[in-house]
Structures are given as structure tokens and as C-alpha cells.
Structure 1
Amino acid sequence: MLSNNRQLKEAKVAEIKEKLEKAQGVVLSQYQGLNVEDDTLLRKNLREAGVEYKVYKNTLVILAARELGIEGIVTHLKGSISIAFGYEEPTVAARILNEFAKTHKKLELKAAIIQGEIFDAAQVNQLASIPPRNVLIAKLLGSFKAPISNLAYVLNSIKEQKELAE
């Protein structure tokens, strides 16, 4: 029975390691005090955004983090900690959890790992203010388009003036 228990723990550690390696953004939060209704709503919001939300034993997460050389998050793994894994976009989990924490004071952001770099709670709040990638791209394209549109407008005005003068 002891070896079976050990095998289960080793499998969980391997699962956590895989998720940590695969995720572009990982956010640790303390969820103690959330009621079932709030937790269900949070999980729904995260799932809709493609974020996986899990609760593991801290000792297993510590083992996985140490095996991956991510020692910096170990100090944040105290108490009831949940982990949100964002696979598509690095900051999506931070944004959703931060928004949720604004109206649900029981949820507290602890730390994040974004593309291998560790951030504390204050930095996670800053990360949460970064717009989604598609919004940033749209703004960039809009800033490229504006001067070209203005040039086209000016050239068209010159053309119309010349036509009127003829």
C-alpha cells in the first residue's frame, strides 16, 4: 500500500510538472473563504478563457517546482493555494483572477510565473492590467493605419482641388 501511495504522488508530481512546463502563465492564489457559488463562478470564468484551475497539495507542487528549478514560488505555497494555468496567453489567468478578486475579497493573488519569470502579488496586479494580445495587435495596426489613411485623405483632397480648378 505504501508503494501504491508513493506511485500516486509521483504521478501527481509528474502531472504538475507537465502543466508548469506547458503553461505560458501560471497564477497562484489563496482561495480560502470562497463559498461554493463563488468558486463555481470563478472556475466557469477561467474555463471559458481556456485557463485550467486546479488545487494540489502544496508539498507536491513544491516537489514539482524544485524538479523544474522554479524555487521562487516555494515561499508562496502556504495555506489554501489554487493554481491557474494559462496555456494560450500568458496574462489571461492574472486578468481574470484579478478582476474576480476585486469583487470577492476572499480571493488573494499570491504570485505568478509568466514565461518562466516569477512575479510577486503586486507585480501580478500590474500584469493583470496588460490588455489581451489581440487588443494590443489591433492597437498597433490602428496606429500603423492612421498615418496612411491621413495621407490618402490629403492626396484625395489635392486631386479634388485640381479637378475643380480645371
Structure 2
Amino acid sequence: MSKPIKNMIVAEYQRRFDGVGSALIIDIRGIEANDNNDLRIDLLGKDIHITVLKNSLAKTAFSGTELESLSTTLSGPSALVFGGDSVVNVARELVDWAKKIKTLELKAAVLDGELFDGKDGVKRLSEYPTKDEAQATVIQLVLSPASNLVKASTSPGSNLLGIIKEITTRLEEGKTIEKIA
């Protein structure tokens, strides 16, 4: 392949992967054509894209980007998988597909510059909460003290608050405290 063509491919990779900070590398060697089509159609329906890579050119294109750590995993037939709502969702999808297609090899993933190497790394990533799940957890933690206070004031124990208020009122009026409840 001539140098100008290689430069065009690198430029295309850089254009296509511009802004992609998290992705996975898979090996689709040995996958039957029908399974490959089913995989691609299913993922494309979820806005997840698969691009088969020329490893040496991809390493050049990844240089200086958040995908650079994936360069060490580029050996043999490799494809970059990216898109969707989050890389965690992409990892979950691919882990599910790897159960159906035994020849689908999960090579690595990168999330915010952190490399998840090998099949175990990708499985570990798939167990992370998605951005939406993490935000929901944080909101739940922030709101839980307030909701606990509301529950306490409306629960049967809230009679205690009423008793304390009555004692305070009687003491302010100068009355003696007798049996209230």
C-alpha cells in the first residue's frame, strides 16, 4: 500500500474516531457471515458502530488520543466498537453476544483513559454502572436524608414530636407538666 493511501486511511480513522474517548477492541475472526451480519445489525440499531482496523495505521491514528492505550492490544484481526449511550452499554452488549457467538473475542476496552485488558477486563467494565445509573444512585443518596426526616415526622414516632411540642408550649405558658399522652 502506498504512503499516500496509508495517510488517507489514517486521516479517515482520525476523522471517524474524533471525539471517541471510550471504545472496545474485538476480534471477529472466525465468525460466520450470518452471525456477523446479525451482530452488526443489532448493534447498529443501538447506534453502536464496528470498524475493522488496519492495526499499524490505527496505532498512528490513536496516537495522542484517549484511545492510545488500546494500541497495545492491536494484534491480529481487530475491530473497534464504539458509540451507544456509554461504553458500559457497549461492553454489556458485546459480553451478551460473546455468549451467543463463541468465536467472538473480547480483546480490550478503554474508559476515560483506563485500559480494561482481555475478556475479563471487558466483563469487569460491563458490570460498572452506566452514567445514568450512577447519577440515579447519587441523587438517591443526596435525597435519602431528607426523605428519612419526612418519614420520621410522619411515622408513629412522630407522636414524640407532638409531646415535646406540648411540653414546650405548657412550659412557656407557665403551666405545670402533667401526663400529656
TM-score where L is the length of structure 1: 0.77
CA displacement at 1:27 relative to structure 2:
0.6
- 1:9 paired with 2:25, answer no
CA displacement at 1:135 relative to structure 2:
1.6
Aligned-pair Cα RMSD in Å: 3.0
- Does the 8 Å CA contact 1:26/1:114 hold for their aligned counterparts? yes
Alignment-derived partner of residue 58 in structure 1: 55
Q: How far apart, CA to CA, are the structure 1 residues paired with 2:28 and 2:129?
A: 25
Task: State which drifts further: 43-52 or 22-31.
Answer: 43-52
TM-score where L is the length of structure 2: 0.72
Residues 30-82 of structure 1: CA distance to partner in whole angstroms, max 9, x if unpaired? 11121222222222332233222111222321332346596643342222211
- Does the 8 Å CA contact 1:49/1:92 hold for their aligned counterparts? no
Alignment-derived partner of residue 148 in structure 1: 146
**Unaligned ranges ≥5, structure 1:** none
Find the structure with the greater CA-based Rg.
2
Higher helix share: 1
Alignment-derived partner of residue 106 in structure 1: 103
Structure 1 residues 145 and 13, CA gap change in structure 2 (3 angstroms): same
- 1:36 paired with 2:37, answer no
- 1:83 paired with 2:75, answer no
The count of corresponding residues between Structure 1 and Structure 2 is 162
**Unaligned ranges ≥5, structure 2:** 163-179
Q: Percent identity?
A: 28
- 1:23 paired with 2:50, answer no
